[in-house]
Structure 1
Amino acid sequence: MIAKEILIEFFDETRKLKANGKARFDINKECRWSYFFTDVNRDKLAEAGRHLEEIGYEVRGFLDPSPDDECQTIFLRFDRVETHTPESLFERNASLYALADRFELDSYDGMDVGALDGP
C-alpha cells in the first residue's frame, strides 16, 4: 500500500515542479490520473479492464514487456479525469488495491498524473 506520507510528498513535489515551470498542470485542480494493474495474464487484465470501463474509467491499453525481458509482466493502464488531495488519492488507491485482489491480479502498481490533454 502506498503510504499517505508518500502521497503528501508526491503532491508537494509536483506543486514545486509547477511553481518552477517544469510541470504544465496544477495537481490541486482537475488532472488526468493514470492507474496501473499488472499481471502476466492478458485475459485477466482485460476482464478487469471491462469492469473498470463499467465504473467510469477510460482504459488506455496494455504495456507489454519487451521481447528480451525475462519478466513477462503486462501493465494495464486506465485513466480518469478527476481532482485529488493526498487523502482522496489514498482512498482511491485502497479501492484499486482491493479491485486488483478481487480480480486476482499480480498487483495494483500505482498511479501517475498529468495534464488533462496529456498522453
Structure 2
Amino acid sequence: MDSIPNKNITIEQLDEMFNDISDHGQWDLSKPLLWGYFFADNDPNKLELVIPKILSMGYTVVDIFQAKKENENEADSFYLHVEKIEIHNSKSLDKTNDEFYIFANQNGLGSYDGMDVGPVEQ
C-alpha cells in the first residue's frame, strides 16, 4: 500500500465486502453490476477538468455534487461520481481502486473517495 498515494481501502476490506455481498445473496457477483466511483475536491472546476480523461477510460459521468456539510464552518466539498458496468472480484476492484488513487494524485484532486455497487437497471 505504500506505493499507492493516499490508499485507504485495503484488499482485506474488499475481501470482506465481497464475502458480505455473497453471504447475503444481494447480487450475483459473477454477473455485471453497476460500479460507482467517487473523486473528491474542494474545487468543482478541478473535477470538471478530469471528465474528458474519465470518459476516455470508458466510464460514464453521473454528476458533480456538493457534499452536505456537518456544520456551516466546513469548507465546501464536491464529488465527481462516475460509473461503469463491470464484473469485479476483490483483486480486480483493488487494481481499479489503485488506478483511481494514482489518477487522483496525478491530476491534483483532493482524493479518490471509494466506490459503491448496485444492480444494473434493466
One-letter amino acid of the counterpart of residue 55, structure 1? M
Match of 1:59 in 2: 61
Partners of 1:36 and 1:109 within 8 A in 2 = yes
For structure 2, the 5+ residue unaligned runs are 1-6
One-letter amino acid of the counterpart of residue 42, structure 1? P
Partners of 1:37 and 1:109 within 8 A in 2 = yes
RMSD: 1.6
TM-score (norm 2): 0.85
Match of 1:3 in 2: 10
TM-score (norm 1): 0.87
SS of 1:84 mapped into structure 2:
coil
One-letter amino acid of the counterpart of residue 79, structure 2? F
One-letter amino acid of the counterpart of residue 46, structure 2? K
Give the structure with the larger helix fraction: 1
Q: CA deviation at 1:71?
A: 3.5
For structure 1, the 5+ residue unaligned runs are none
Match of 2:45 in 1: 43
2:79 paired with 1:72: no
SS of 1:116 mapped into structure 2:
coil
Partners of 2:106 and 2:30 lie apart in 1 by: 31
